[in-house]
Structure 1
Amino acid sequence: MTDYVVMFPADNEAEWELGTESDHQATFDTDHEFALLLKAGGGAVIGGAGLAHSSKARTIKRGPKSNVLITEGPFAETVEQMSGFYIVTCDDYDELVEAAQILTRAHPVVEIRPVEES
């Protein structure tokens, strides 16, 4: 079995904040449907979470002369931010990609990356 990270890198925080409870529930229902479909195919969601608003983020990066720079907020200057993720374990990458298509009902972009084995 291989682990994958399923990420939502393009959700718009402002749209989410303006959404109704019904809008939010539709997203939760879509995410739940993904998890059920994946489980039915023999995979498993082993973790995941929504992320706090990007204003709560701190970005740490190497600066000139290897100095460490810490800034408030996300590194990217954009309204689109990483909003959440799943860690998924499954045998069939293609099956995961197929199941993840459901997530585009609630998330404009879904990115899947295999986790490197150490």
Structure 2
Amino acid sequence: MAKYLILIYEDEASWANAGPEDYERAMKEHTAFGENNRDVLRGGEALHPGSMGTSVRKDASGDFVVTDGAFFETKEGLGGYYLIEVDDLDQAIAVAKQVPAPYGGVEVRPVMVFS
């Protein structure tokens, strides 16, 4: 079995303008996703918008620079993730196709195993 992270990227501005019915529908869809895939799910969470993040980077002198916000300014931000455990990439993609992401899409990335 292999672990994969399904990263959910969506247009944060669309969610900022969404109404209560959009949030309710998303919660129902994610709940259904979780129920339908409970055998392979190992975790997952929603994330606050990138503007709520704090970036920590080393500058050229080796000092740390701490700034508000995400590392990158993009149209789509990382909004959440699911950790799954399946046999292979094909199964991971099949699960990823079920993830609700009305304002964007998802990325499937294998989890590195160190032994």
Take 1:61 and 1:109, find their aligned partners in 2: how far apart are those partners?
27
Q: Deviation of residue 97 (structure 1)?
A: 0.4
Give the structure with the higher percent helix.
1
8 Å contact 1:26–1:106 — kept in the other structure?
Answer: no
Q: Deviation of residue 107 (structure 1)?
A: 4.8
Matched, 1:78 2:78: no
Q: Deviation of residue 104 (structure 1)?
A: 5.4
Matched, 1:106 2:102: yes
After TM superposition, the runs of 4+ consecutive aligned structure 1 residues lying more than 6 A away are none
Structure 2 spans left out of the alignment, 5+ residues:
none
Query: Against the structure 1 CA distance between its residues 44 and 107, is the aligned structure 2 distance closer, same or farther, given a 3 Å change threshold?
Result: farther
Structure 1 spans left out of the alignment, 5+ residues:
none
8 Å contact 2:40–2:85 — kept in the other structure?
Answer: yes
Amino acid at match of 2:3: D
Q: Deviation of residue 25 (structure 1)?
A: 2.3
Aligned residues: 114
Give the structure with the higher percent strand.
2
Take 1:26 and 1:84, find their aligned partners in 2: how far apart are those partners?
16
Amino acid at match of 1:84: G
Query: Identity over aligned residues, as a percent?
Result: 25
Q: Deviation of residue 112 (structure 1)?
A: 0.8
Matched, 1:54 2:50: yes
TM-score by length of 1: 0.82
Query: Against the structure 1 CA distance between its residues 93 and 47, is the aligned structure 2 distance closer, same or farther, given a 3 Å change threshold?
Result: same
Take 1:105 and 1:4, find their aligned partners in 2: how far apart are those partners?
18
**Alignment RMSD:** 1.9
Partner SS state of residue 96, structure 1 = helix
8 Å contact 2:11–2:103 — kept in the other structure?
Answer: no
Cα displacement string for residues 32-80 of structure 1 (whole angstroms, at most 9, x for unaligned residues) = 33333434xxx42111111012222110112112221111111112342
* Alignment match of 2:64 (pick from 63, 68, 79): 68
